[in-house]
């Protein structure tokens, strides 16, 4: 896992600019929120932006 990135988790509070990974891909949080299965980085493009290292 890249430095500064943590694994995405359900029921986690995320702040703007938090960085996470899911299935080997990196994402940047765009909107502060508490995660659930529906707003994971692959599905919720309004909450997450793909991040390229």
pLDDT in tens, the chain (53 residues): 678 899 999 999 999 999 999 999 999 999 999 999 999 999 999 999 999 87
Structural domain containing residue 31: 6-51
Instruction: Classify residue 17 by its DSSP letter.
Output: T
Task: Decide if 1 is inside a domain.
Answer: no
Which phi and psi angles does 33 have, rounded to 5°?
A: -170, 165
Task: Decide if 17 is inside a domain.
Answer: yes
Task: Decide if 14 is inside a domain.
Answer: yes
pTM above 0.75, yes or no: yes
Task: Decide if 15 is inside a domain.
Answer: yes
The Cα 38–Cα 53 span in angstroms is 25
Give the number of domains in the chain. 1
Instruction: Classify residue 48 by its DSSP letter.
Output: E
Alpha carbon of residue 8 to chain centroid: 6
* Residue 9 token pair: 């988790």
């Amino acid at each position: 896992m890249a430095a500064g990135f943590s694994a995405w988790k359900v029921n986690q509070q995320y702040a703007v600019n938090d960085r996470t990974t899911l299935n080997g891909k990196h994402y940047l949080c765009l909107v502060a929120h508490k995660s659930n299965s529906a707003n994971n980085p692959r599905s919720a493009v309004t909450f997450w932006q793909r991040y390229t290292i």
